[in-house]
Structure formats: C-alpha cells, structure tokens
Amino acid sequence: EAGRYPFNSTPADADLVAAVAAKYKVKPENVVMGAGSQEILKSAMRAFVSESKSLVTALPTFENCTGYAKRYKLPITEVKVDSQMRLDVEPMIAAAIKDKAGLVFFNNPNNPTATVHGAKTVADMVERIRKGSPDTVILIDEAYHDYVTDPSYASAIPLALSTPNVFVARTFSKAYGMAGMRIGYAIGMPDTMKPLAALKM
C-alpha cells in the first residue's frame, strides 16, 4: 500500500508513530501522522477554523490553508509579507488577538519567499498570542526545516511540546523526496493533537 493514500490504518502506522515519537523523545500521543503535511494543514482548518473562528495567515505563503478557507467561505485575514519578503509578525499577532482567531498559520521557513524567522521571534509571537487570545491555535509549518542555514533559527518543536494550542507540522516530502509515499506529521501536546487525530484519514 506504499503508493496509496492511507485511507485505512495499517499495522505499520503504529510503528511509524513510535519511530517519530522516539526521535523526539516523546509519547505516541504527541504525534499525529498525515499524508504529507498537507493533510495536517487541512485537518487543522477543519478542527480550528469556522464561521466564527478566523484564519490568520501571510500573503504570500503556502496556499493550503488559504485555499481551504476561501473554498468554504471561512473568515480569513491575510497579512502581506514585509519589504524583505518576511512574514510580518506584528500585524499577524495583532490580527490573531483582535479576531480571537481560530488558527494562525505561520510558515517558517516561508514558502514561497524562502525567508525565515529566528527562534526568539517565534517564541515571542507565541507568548503574545497566547496571552491575548489563549484559545487561538498556532500552527508552525516547518516543511523546509532541513534547508535552514540561518543560525538564529531553531525548530519550534520544543516550544510546541511545552505550550498548549501550539503544534508543528513536518513532512518527509521535501528533504527526503519519497515519491509515492507522502508522509507528514504534527507534533505537540496531547490535548492539542486530539482534534487532529480525530480527523486523520
């Protein structure tokens, strides 16, 4: 079944979850698998965005969440990147708090602008959104994590594992190029993972 989307769980699923969990020294309940990170993003939209809970995202950024919101006419705030093509963090924070957003999509490194924010900026953003709108879920997409050379950058996985309503999405589809085997995963605190696990294909 390697060349098929995982519509039905197979016994090997548990082994894969265990392998990812072991890599990060966490429990299986901290991990949710997906058919690439795209399934994770779509599940996040289904779980956390509604007619009364908006999406806050960048423009341009990876279009999966944006496309979903527009297709289903869900409220969305798109914050244009700054003059250096970096995600404009301050207005994203302001929009998340003002709207009491359901989900903030933060693509770091950002696709397609190839810009990255350092660990301190990400941690500060999370802290401020959590303080101003604690129910808002923050999705940090690290699909291009393996290509980062900026020394200020660090994965937000430790942050997600210690902070409610924050999770990181990763994929094997970029650095490892496993054609025909789209494998992605989300990682965060168990309570944050439960809505994603319920929507898994």
Distance CA 5, CA 95 (A): 35
Amino acid in position 168: V
Place of tokens 């265990």: 18
Integer Cα distance of 47 and 26 in angstroms: 23
Q: Which of 107, 102, 103, 112 is nearest to 88 (CA)?
A: 107
Residue-level pLDDT at 13: 75
pLDDT at 106 over 80: yes
Closest CA to 41 of 69, 74, 10: 69
pLDDT, residue 99, reads 95
Lowest mean pLDDT, pick from 10-14, 28-32, 71-75, 180-184: 10-14
- Of the ranges 30-34, 81-85, 171-175, 189-193, which one carries the lowest mean pLDDT score? 171-175
Contact 156, 140 (CB under 8 A): yes
146-164 pLDDT, tens digit per residue, is 999 999 999 999 999 999 9
> With left for phi above 0 and alpha for psi between -120 and 50, is residue 42 left, alpha or beta?
alpha
Tens of pLDDT along 47-77?
999 999 999 999 999 999 999 999 999 999 9
Closest CA to 41 of 146, 113, 142, 159: 142
Q: What is the largest CA-CA distance in the chain?
A: 49
Q: Is the pTM of this model over 0.85?
A: yes
